């Protein structure tokens, strides 16, 4: 989801003054920004002035937010003007901006940063870019806003903040994340230029003052010291710029990796959905197969029961046939035994006939039987 879609779909969009400044004119500039009639009702017309990261984090968790912050040299110079010690002013700025960066990293899609001092150089251009990024009708005056900053305090603040690598890195990350028109170049666009302008203002102020020679010489020595520190800062800034470029390249690589990871996550999501659909289809097929299997088992059981019935009938028929066969075999055996008795009697009768025919009496009475047979033939 894009930054613009997050803002246009948000129920509430708030503008936050996180500059830490107590000056009334800062509030007037921001109040003019949010009072434009082109803004939708979802944009809060009340400027939320916050000085702690906890309050800002609570608001960011509930709404989309446009946060105005101040660069280190401006915030620290204002603090010096208010009598706050330099180290305390720098540490206070660092603490506040660390909280802001942590919130931006967590709520990247619902937080827009705006460098207040850059915004005042061309309010109309910055407001137009803000409107383009958020999709809301922000507008700004065509006249730059001017804020008087004590040149001495600004020079001191610029040089001291340039010496601090953590401050320089934080400013670089905040500026990289802030709204800036593509073709806008501020008159004092980088820290070196801002420090040089501050030193020039301080030099002019000293030249204009008509003071005693001793005091002027002391101030000149201070200028020389500041110039030497500025040269040292220039060298250091070159090193920091190289480091910032390397960090920027690394940041772009991380963003590219996140984009690739997002694409991979989308692909995995599609694959998971496809697998879930295939699993659901497979489950339906399994249920249908189970039903078919149950029907087959029922048919098989019915056939088995029928087979058992037929087998019982066959066994009963087999027993009946075996009993009939046994009875027939018994009858055949009885007949065989009877035939054997008859054959034995026939053999005995034959033996008797043979014995009779071979007896002496049969031979003696032979002629008598012939005569008798002859007489029967004649009669």
Query: In the structure encoding, which two tokens stand for residue 202, read together?
Result: 């301080």
Both tokens of 87, joined, read 């180290």
Backbone φ and ψ of 254, nearest 5°: -65, -45
Task: Give Cα separations from 343 to 281, 333, 354 (angstroms).
Answer: 89, 15, 16
What local confidence, expressed as pLDDT, does residue 184 receive?
59
Q: At what angle do helices 72-81 and 151-163 cross, to 10 degrees?
A: 130
Give the model's pLDDT for residue 188: 43
β-bridge pairing 64-69 and 43-49: unpaired
Tokens of 199: 């030193």
d(CA 296, CA 108): 62
The per-residue b/e assignment along 332-367, b for 16 or more CB within 10 angstroms, e otherwise, is: eeeeeeeeeeeeeeeeeeeeeeeeeeeeeeeeeeee
Q: What is the per-residue pLDDT for 114?
A: 92
How does pLDDT run across 232-270, given as a tens digit for each residue?
Answer: 777 887 887 788 788 888 888 888 888 888 888 888 888
- Cα–Cα distance measured from residue 215 to residue 200, given in angstroms and rounded to the nearest whole number: 19
To the question of pTM greater than 0.85 for the whole model, the response is: no
- pLDDT tens readout for residues 284-294: 888 888 888 88
Give the domains, in start order, of the chain with CATH numbers.
3-148 (3.40.50)
CA 34/CA 139 separation, integer angstroms: 8
Nearest CA among 139, 137, 135 for reference residue 126: 139
DSSP bridge partners of 178? 113
Regions of the chain with pLDDT less than 50: 1, 187-189
Look-up of token digits 């002859």:
374
Specify whether the CB–CB gap between 46 and 66 falls below 8 A.
no
**pLDDT value for 366:** 80
Tell whether the torsion through CA atoms of 167, 173, 178 and 184 is positive or negative: positive
Neighbours of 15 (CB within 10 A): 23
Predicted confidence at residue 1, as pLDDT, reads 47
Count Cβ atoms within 10 A of the Cβ of residue 163 and give its class: 0-12 exposed, 13-18 middle, 19 or more buried: middle
Residue 69 neighbours by CB distance under 10 Å: 24
Distance of CA 208 to the CA centre of its chain: 65
**Contact call for residues 77 and 176 (beta carbons, < 8 A):** no
Q: What are phi and psi of 134, to 5 degrees?
A: -100, -15
Both tokens of 283, joined, read 């489950």
* Strands 13-17, 64-69: pairing kind: parallel
């Amino acid at each position: 989801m894009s930054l613009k879609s997050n803002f246009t779909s948000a129920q509430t969009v708030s503008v936050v003054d996180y500059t830490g400044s107590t000056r009334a004119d800062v509030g007037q500039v921001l109040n003019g920004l949010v009072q434009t009639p082109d803004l939708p009702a979802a944009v809060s017309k009340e400027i939320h002035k916050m000085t702690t990261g906890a309050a800002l984090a609570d608001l960011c968790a509930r709404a989309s937010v446009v946060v105005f912050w101040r660069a280190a040299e401006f915030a620290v110079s204002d603090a010096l003007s208010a009598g706050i010690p330099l180290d305390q002013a720098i540490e206070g700025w660092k603490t506040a901006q660390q909280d802001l960066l942590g919130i931006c990293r967590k709520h990247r899609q619902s937080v827009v940063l705006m460098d207040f001092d850059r915004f005042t150089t061309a309010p109309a251009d910055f407001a137009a870019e803000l409107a383009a990024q958020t999709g809301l009708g922000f507008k700004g005056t065509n006249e730059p806003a001017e804020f008087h900053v004590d040149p001495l305090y600004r020079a001191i603040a610029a040089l001291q903040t340039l010496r601090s690598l953590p401050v320089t890195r934080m400013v670089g990350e905040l500026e990289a994340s802030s709204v800036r028109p593509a073709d806008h170049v501020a008159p004092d666009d980088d820290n070196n230029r801002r420090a040089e302008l501050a030193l020039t203002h301080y030099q002019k102020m000293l030249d204009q003052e008509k003071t005693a020679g001793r005091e002027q010489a002391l101030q000149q020595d201070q200028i020389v010291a500041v110039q030497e520190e500025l040269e040292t800062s220039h060298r250091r800034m070159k090193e920091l710029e190289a480091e910032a470029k390397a960090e920027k390249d690394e940041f772009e690589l991380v963003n590219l990796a996140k984009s690739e990871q997002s694409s991979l996550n989308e692909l995995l999501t599609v694959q998971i959905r496809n697998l879930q659909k295939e699993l659901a289809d497979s489950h339906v097929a399994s249920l249908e197969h189970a039903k078919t299997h149950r029907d087959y088992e029922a048919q098989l059981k019915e056939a088995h029961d029928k087979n058992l019935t037929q087998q019982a009938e066959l066994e009963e028929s087999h027993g009946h046939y075996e009993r009939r066969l046994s009875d027939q075999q018994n009858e055949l055996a009885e007949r065989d035994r009877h035939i054997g008795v008859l054959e034995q009697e026939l053999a005995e009768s034959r033996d008797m006939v043979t014995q009779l025919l071979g007896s002496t009496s049969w031979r003696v009475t032979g002629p008598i039987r012939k005569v008798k047979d002859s007489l029967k033939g004649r009669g």
